[in-house]
């Protein structure tokens, strides 16, 4: 994954993106800064792997733009698409909260920009902000 932006304009843009998501919109400035400091960006072409089966879930992903597909493969190698997610959606929260490995493969379908927020920052902010904790539960509920 790409490193955090280095210019003030890039940092400001990423903070603005985070502040306007349903997951992070209720955070105050200090909490947004905490999340931002633990966020990595990825810009990926279509058909690029993002998460592999069994990979440690050390954070959650937010799709800024593009699409990803979440799939399982059976013993015969046949792909079963569980879900296709697009702009302004998240994935990996359940595995991250349960500290379990990812149970599916995630690949981009189209050119995409993804944010990955480390688990430690999410958990710190969840302890401080009930509205954020509630939105986390809502997102996990939608995923299941």
CB of 1 closer than 8 Å to CB of 43: no
Band of residue 16 on the pLDDT scale cut at 50, 70, 90 = very high
With cut-offs at 50, 70 and 90, classify the pLDDT of residue 143. confident
Instruction: Render pLDDT for 25-58 as a digit per residue (tens, 0 to 9).
Output: 999 999 999 999 999 999 999 999 999 999 999 9
- Residue among 108, 64, 113, 70 at smallest CA distance from 92: 70
**Would you call 75 exposed, middle or buried from its count of C-beta atoms within 10 A (0-12, 13-18, 19+)?**
exposed
Residue 107, pLDDT > 70, answer yes
Whole-angstrom CA distances from 86 to 27, 120, 137 are 23, 25, 20
What pTM did the predictor assign?
0.88
User: Could you read off the pLDDT of 124-138 as tens digits, one per residue?
Assistant: 999 999 999 999 998
Residue 83 predicted with pLDDT over 80: yes
């Amino acid at each position: 994954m790409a490193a955090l932006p280095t210019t003030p304009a890039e940092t400001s843009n990423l903070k603005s993106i985070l502040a306007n998501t349903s997951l992070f919109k209720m955070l105050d400035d200090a909490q947004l800064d905490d999340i931002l400091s633990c966020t990595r960006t990825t810009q990926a072409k279509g058909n690029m792997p993002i998460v592999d089966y069994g990979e440690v879930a050390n954070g959650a992903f937010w799709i800024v733009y593009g699409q990803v597909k979440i799939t399982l493969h059976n013993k015969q190698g046949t792909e079963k698409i569980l879900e296709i997610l697009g702009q302004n959606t998240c994935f990996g929260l359940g595995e991250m909260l349960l500290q379990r490995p990812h149970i599916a493969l995630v690949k981009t379908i189209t050119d995409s920009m993804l944010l990955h927020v480390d688990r430690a920052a999410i958990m710190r902010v969840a302890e401080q902000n009930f509205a954020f904790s509630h939105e986390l539960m809502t997102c996990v509920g939608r995923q299941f």
